[in-house]
Structure 1
Amino acid sequence: MESRTHAADATPGDTVTVAGWVHEIRDLGGIAFLIVRDSSGKIQVKFEKDEMDDDLVETGLDVQRESVVTVTGAVEEEERAPTGVEIVPDEIEVLSAADPELPLDPSGKVDAELPTRLDNRTLDLRKEEVKAIFEIRAEILRSVREAFRSLGCTEINTPKIVATGTEGGTELFPITYFGREAFMNQSPQLFKQLMVGSGLERVFEIGPIFRAEEHNTPRHLNEATSIDFESAFIDESGAMDACEEVVVSAYEGVAENCQEELEALGLAEEFTVPERDFPRLTYQEAIERINATGELDEQLVWGDDLPTEGERALGDDVGQHYFITEWPSEIKPFYIKDNEDDDELSTGFDMMHPSMELVSGGQREHRYDHLVEGFEQQGLDPEQFDYYTKMFKYGMPPHAGWGLGGERLVMTMLGLDNIREAVLFPRDRQRLSP
């Protein structure tokens, strides 16, 4: 179909061949219309029955909705048509006929529940507003990659099948690997740290992570996309600067390149790019502010993790993206470095959207003895992680980094109710197919 013309490019006076899906058929008696949809939009095809070949009219009006067709004909101006032009057809070919019993209505006139939509994702993405989410997701990833490159990062790809879990615990998916037990990787954490000790120094990765989460909530997935950053010779403050730059760049890319998609989602008017210099609250300040809201039944005390309702109360109070810094050492992973002046505090941080956590990061422990000690304190066997720890004997620079939940970024940016809306084919406790 080299001579195919997209619907949006059809110009009055031209003879074109348009290929796409039958969106709607309107039969008004002596005149009828076929609306054909492609990736660029929709175009009207006009049938004046008395003036056209009967077979042509029959082919055009007997076809089922969502069938794939090509239409060849002259493009004419028509103010009343949805796009101001219409095609008067000379030829119509049905390339693929659709079953008249569709599992959902891509025109959106009849709503479908989320499970039905996910079961029929191909049809679901024929809806303009659903397709818009994934066009925006693609732009987010493009903008993020560009931001990383501007920060001097090299893109890497690390293994997703590993011998040991990144963080241990029950959140591991075991698999059989040639008769041995292996696991789906929870994070590229250990590998990206090894890379900052190599000649690369500053790296990023965008790839899948796997967690056997017990949670079955609108914001948890068992396979997610992690956007990861790691750099030698920076501390947690430098990592937060990079985090802020990447997130703001994602919003800027969408604002600049996705106006049509934002309009399809009804967000064009309200979409705003976050201002740089996100507030940085300490963990102590965060729990004091949460307690002051009076939203929790019990007051938080030092060492508590922040409950979902506490995060929301604090998010409402802050009203923008923000960081929580200086978390207690005891509740951060073994690879997070303690504060130099107070080993009760860690260099760990979280970056928050007002509605939920998006990023976890910090400065890493680069000193071999301290790293092994951290493993032991968290009940992990350092020998199982020898491939990782031994490299810290050979000159590991100070380094810091973070991981950002890709779907959570899409979800919070677009105000989606369920994280599954941001994934083509979600994997959760119930869903393994399609």
Structure 2
Amino acid sequence: MAIVKKSSEVTVSDGTVAVGGWVQDIRNLGGISFITMRDRCGTYQVTMPKKKIDPELFSMLTGLSRETVVRIEGEVKESNQTATGWEIIPSAAEVISPAGVPLPLGVVDKVNVEMDTRLNHRFMDVRKPEVKAIFELKSLMVDLIEEAVREMGFTRVYTPKIGAAGAEGGAELFKVQYFDRPAYLAQSPQLYKQILMSSGLDQVYEIGPAFRAEQSNTNRHVTEFISFDGEMSWISCQEDVMRAIEQVVDHVLTGLKERGARQLEVIGKEINVPARPYPILTYSECLAIVQAAGLLLKEGDDLGTEGEKIVGEHMAGKGCDLYFIAEYPEEAKPFYIMEKDGTPYSFSFDLDFKGQEISSGGQREHRYDRLVERMQKKGLDPEDFEFYLEAFKYGMPPHGGWGIGIERMLVKALDLPNIREAILFPRDPARLSP
């Protein structure tokens, strides 16, 4: 037999085929009926001429409800009337799992469904080809990240997600009971990846969950997300870190465009790969841009969502989707960021993508005494971070790093309207199930 088809379950022998999948749609035209079947590789057609197949089989198949799981055996025939170029004439069928009626939401119906309904029935939502394609691209994105950092000589590490202290302190920590004492879910692997810079593992990365107890109900915030974190030693300046991120992001976007072409076609999106190097704006330059646009911000203020959007529009006018914003006020940055001596600024940066921050990073303070001073300046007790500070007492090279939100990067690359589109089972202040 000349036809070869990948499927979740296919066996071929002497011109017959056995396939398993979901009943996506049934069209009964009287003398002939058609079933559109769907599996992980796409859709195909089962054609049922009423006079040519067993009457009981015809009745059973035409009476199935949509999304029922069946196994069908039959003859494969070439057809110029189908998108695949072939069809199946059934000779036997088995209902594996009937679908209830009505469906909680349609798979192929062109009806707008609210986000909450989709998330409450995510298993059904992901059956939609355009939704499934997003998560295939997300999987590809992680593969591409790992390809890039391995090529750059980074070592993958795994750090605890339950700890005695947060990376940045403050109120954005989820407190949990750890046997007889309090603990916290990790905001990031920040403290641990810096400790490793003292170990000789001088380029490390981690891809894993991070948790932020933010009471934010927006289309860009969730309480659990996947973070891609990197840290590298022996840098001479923060620009070394920026160029490392740039190399990874470029590899990711190029790979999505080339290897994710099928999925991109399904969701009707294109990937733009910006030219390198990405422009670097200072915080002060951005402040001037937003002030000129009429936003009432003063020196030291957070640019905020609206400010980032204005800067994004300004850069879009210059044909730039990706750009760095550097040298933020040190007062606004965590204790581990190095101050720019003699100024109120710091060696820190964000990477913004179409008007939204997708990454933060910078050069770290590797000098023990200065690090302790930074902690005290932030109102933190160094004794609470003794496990972290100890690594700085016995030889710590200059280093820097970053954190990138995987979902945020995917959302901006695909121009998705909500970060929840890029998370299978999102968590936010209002959602803890499913």
Shorter-normalised TM-score: what interval? over 0.9
What's 2:299 paired with? 302
The reply on whether 1:31 has 2:28 as its aligned counterpart is no
SS of 1:50's equivalent in the other structure is coil
Q: Shift of residue 192 of structure 1?
A: 0.5
SS of 1:352's equivalent in the other structure is strand
What's 2:258 paired with? 256
Give, as a single letter, the amino acid of the residue that structure 2 aligns with 1:17. A
Q: CA RMSD in A?
A: 1.7
SS of 2:166's equivalent in the other structure is coil
What's 1:193 paired with? 194
SS of 2:336's equivalent in the other structure is coil
What's 1:358 paired with? 358
The reply on whether 1:314 has 2:320 as its aligned counterpart is no
| Deviation by residue 1:335-385 (Cα, 9 ceiling, x = unmatched) | 00112x534221011110122101110000001100111110001111000
Q: Shift of residue 11 of structure 1?
A: 9.7
The reply on whether 1:209 has 2:206 as its aligned counterpart is no
What's 1:265 paired with? 267
What's 2:62 paired with? 61
Contact residue 337 and residue 364 of structure 1 kept, 8 A: yes
Q: Shift of residue 110 of structure 1?
A: 2.7
Runs of 4+ off more than 4 Å: 7-13
SS of 1:51's equivalent in the other structure is coil
Contact residue 13 and residue 74 of structure 1 kept, 8 A: no
Provide the C-alpha distance between the structure 2 equivalents of 1:431 and 1:301, rounded to a whole number of angstroms. 36
Provide the C-alpha distance between the structure 1 equivalents of 2:244 and 2:14, rounded to a whole number of angstroms. 52
Contact residue 172 and residue 183 of structure 1 kept, 8 A: yes
Give, as a single letter, the amino acid of the residue that structure 2 aligns with 1:6. K
Q: Shift of residue 7 of structure 1?
A: 5.4
What's 1:401 paired with? 401
Count of aligned residue pairs for this structure pair: 425
Provide the C-alpha distance between the structure 2 equivalents of 1:209 and 1:401, rounded to a whole number of angstroms. 16
Provide the C-alpha distance between the structure 1 equivalents of 2:192 and 2:332, rounded to a whole number of angstroms. 22
Give, as a single letter, the amino acid of the residue that structure 2 aligns with 1:310. G
Relative to structure 1, is the Cα distance of residues 111 and 333 closer, same or farther in structure 2, using a 3 angstrom cutoff?
same
Q: TM-score, normalised by structure 2?
A: 0.95
| Deviation by residue 1:245-284 (Cα, 9 ceiling, x = unmatched) | 11111111111111111111111xx422122211001111
Output aligned runs, 1:26-425, within 5 Å.
26-234=27-235, 235-267=237-269, 270-294=270-294, 296=295, 298=296, 300-319=297-316, 320-339=321-340, 341-425=341-425
Contact residue 75 and residue 86 of structure 1 kept, 8 A: yes
Relative to structure 1, is the Cα distance of residues 13 and 107 closer, same or farther in structure 2, using a 3 angstrom cutoff?
farther
Q: Shift of residue 173 of structure 1?
A: 0.5
Q: Shift of residue 126 of structure 1?
A: 0.4
Relative to structure 1, is the Cα distance of residues 184 and 7 closer, same or farther in structure 2, using a 3 angstrom cutoff?
closer
Q: Shift of residue 394 of structure 1?
A: 0.8
Provide the C-alpha distance between the structure 2 equivalents of 1:433 and 1:379, rounded to a whole number of angstroms. 36
Provide the C-alpha distance between the structure 1 equivalents of 2:355 and 2:281, rounded to a whole number of angstroms. 16
Provide the C-alpha distance between the structure 1 equivalents of 2:272 and 2:233, rounded to a whole number of angstroms. 33
Provide the C-alpha distance between the structure 2 equivalents of 1:206 and 1:324, rounded to a whole number of angstroms. 24
Q: Shift of residue 111 of structure 1?
A: 2.6
Contact residue 256 and residue 271 of structure 2 kept, 8 A: no
Relative to structure 1, is the Cα distance of residues 36 and 132 closer, same or farther in structure 2, using a 3 angstrom cutoff?
same
Provide the C-alpha distance between the structure 1 equivalents of 2:230 and 2:410, rounded to a whole number of angstroms. 18
Q: TM-score, normalised by structure 1?
A: 0.95
Gaps of 5+ in 2: none
Contact residue 7 and residue 42 of structure 1 kept, 8 A: no
Contact residue 173 and residue 185 of structure 2 kept, 8 A: yes
Relative to structure 1, is the Cα distance of residues 7 and 24 closer, same or farther in structure 2, using a 3 angstrom cutoff?
farther
Relative to structure 1, is the Cα distance of residues 13 and 81 closer, same or farther in structure 2, using a 3 angstrom cutoff?
farther
SS of 2:51's equivalent in the other structure is helix
SS of 2:346's equivalent in the other structure is coil
Q: Shift of residue 12 of structure 1?
A: 12
| Deviation by residue 1:90-116 (Cα, 9 ceiling, x = unmatched) | 111111111122100011333311100
Provide the C-alpha distance between the structure 1 equivalents of 2:32 and 2:409, rounded to a whole number of angstroms. 48
Contact residue 167 and residue 333 of structure 1 kept, 8 A: yes
Gaps of 5+ in 1: none
Q: Shift of residue 13 of structure 1?
A: 8.2
* 100-109 or 114-123: bigger deviation: 100-109
SS of 1:375's equivalent in the other structure is helix
Provide the C-alpha distance between the structure 2 equivalents of 1:304 and 1:197, rounded to a whole number of angstroms. 34
Contact residue 5 and residue 16 of structure 1 kept, 8 A: no
Provide the C-alpha distance between the structure 2 equivalents of 1:121 and 1:70, rounded to a whole number of angstroms. 24
What's 1:17 paired with? 18
SS of 2:335's equivalent in the other structure is coil
Relative to structure 1, is the Cα distance of residues 414 and 11 closer, same or farther in structure 2, using a 3 angstrom cutoff?
farther
| Deviation by residue 1:98-150 (Cα, 9 ceiling, x = unmatched) | 11221000113333111000011111000010001101101111001111111
* 246-255 or 120-129: bigger deviation: 246-255
Contact residue 197 and residue 397 of structure 1 kept, 8 A: yes
Q: Shift of residue 242 of structure 1?
A: 0.8
Provide the C-alpha distance between the structure 1 equivalents of 2:389 and 2:427, rounded to a whole number of angstroms. 32
SS of 1:82's equivalent in the other structure is coil
* 64-73 or 398-407: bigger deviation: 64-73
SS of 1:251's equivalent in the other structure is helix
* 403-412 or 284-293: bigger deviation: 284-293
SS of 1:102's equivalent in the other structure is coil
Provide the C-alpha distance between the structure 2 equivalents of 1:29 and 1:46, rounded to a whole number of angstroms. 13
SS of 1:142's equivalent in the other structure is helix
Q: Shift of residue 10 of structure 1?
A: 10
